[in-house]
Structure 1
Amino acid sequence: MTGDKLLRRWPAALGVLVAAGTVLGVEHGGQIASVVAASGFVYLAAAAIGRPGAAWPAFGVTFVLIGLSLRTGFDAVLWVCVAAAALAVIGLLRAGVRPVWSLPLQSAAMVVLGAAALLAVRADPVIAGVIVSVALFAHAAWDVWHHRTGRVVARSLAEFCCVLDVLVGVGVLVVTLTL
């Protein structure tokens, strides 16, 4: 692989690094259910604002919230869901900025992913691990579709997120199967 091709894969490389940092030290899937909520939030943010590049700053916000939750007990899942609801309202107020299908589709995905994350936080560790893994694998498919179509988020974010979702999903599944 030439240096230029390798350089173009920076989102995948970043996904590997973030996934490794996310999974290391995890004892059960419920501990990182916030990653599931964050995956929906990032797409919803881009749809609500009407700019694909808005997904990266939204990821930054979730990265900080998840970091706080892992170190302080802060409930990142709840706050990501609250922020997502606020973004959906902002998106509704900005009607016409985006394609008509974008915000409703991303809002529906956020509801499903937010519900899965909220359920996983409160579930038995084995059930939580399965919920988190399945949700992340499903979101990875969502990432692939968005990457291929170039819709909603920047392609770099979709690539990064797909790698992150798959690796964290596999990591959580391995941890869950060894409980």
Structure 2
Amino acid sequence: MTSSNQPHDQPTQQPGNDRETDATSRRIAPLLRRWPTLAGLAFAALTAFDLAGGVELATVLAASAVVYLGTAALGRPGAAWPMFFATFAIIAVAKLVDDRFEPTWAVLGAGILLLVYGLLRGAIRPRHGLPLQTIALLGFGAAATLALFINPALGGYLVALGLLGHAAWDVYHYRANRVVARSLAEFCLVLDTALAVAIVIAQA
């Protein structure tokens, strides 16, 4: 008579497969942590596709400053990503309405409205918030505007210089962990730098 207390079959352990899975996870984890960098490179590739000379990226330079100012006006670093998508929605709509209309004006106009909103809600402190971001918008916005009115080649280099300047702005805010989410600062740093390099290459 067969005993009913026979042990059930136990699943076979495969330590080798477990080690391979752990090794794969360790390789993928750093990439996942750097998703803003990967996203910035991908977005830069899409933006720079079929780049003519660089002056057409003046809108991106203006938008970069508006994202920071808008986030400071709202007083919530987490609003940086929605603000980023909102600025590029404005650019897309401006181009759809009239492809002859320069979307930089729409972006800068949105920046002015956000500044007014921030002032109305009393967001004048801290100083590294709305006050400093307003100065930045004036500087980067002026560079973007000037680039549209000078020689296209010089305008392209001016945009590239402005993007590199904003990349330094991104580094500061990333390290200080101020105004915008660090993921947005990292993304913007990679995007600005990659686009500046793409302009120089296109001008060569």
Which has the higher relative contact order, 1 or 2, with Cα contacts under 8 A spaced 6 or more apart?
A: 1
Moved more, 54-63 or 15-24: 54-63
Matches of 2:194 and 2:93, distance apart in 1? 21
The answer (yes or no) to whether the contact 2:125–2:131 under 8 Å persists in 1 is no
**Structure 2: segments with no counterpart, 5+ residues:** 1-25
Q: Which residue of 1 aligns with 2:184?
A: 157
Whichever residue aligns with residue 2 of structure 1, its letter is: R
SS at match of 1:153: coil
Matches of 1:50 and 1:165, distance apart in 2? 24
**Structure 1: segments with no counterpart, 5+ residues:** none
Aligned positions, number: 177
Moved more, 27-36 or 90-99: 90-99
Whichever residue aligns with residue 105 of structure 2, its letter is: L
Overall identity of the aligned pairs, in %: 46
Whichever residue aligns with residue 71 of structure 2, its letter is: A
Matches of 1:110 and 1:116, distance apart in 2? 10
The structure with the greater share of residues assigned to helix is: 1
SS at match of 1:159: helix
What is the Cα-based RMSD across aligned positions, in Å?
Answer: 1.7
Larger Rg: 2
1:122 aligns with 2:156: no
1:48 aligns with 2:73: yes
Displacement of 1:2 after TM fit? 2.5
The answer (yes or no) to whether the contact 1:11–1:160 under 8 Å persists in 2 is yes
| TM-score, scaled to structure 1 | 0.92
1:172 aligns with 2:199: yes
1:108 to 127, 131, 135: 135
Q: Mapping of 1:40-119 within 5 angstroms?
A: 40-68=65-93, 72-96=99-123, 98-119=125-146
Displacement of 1:125 after TM fit? 1.4
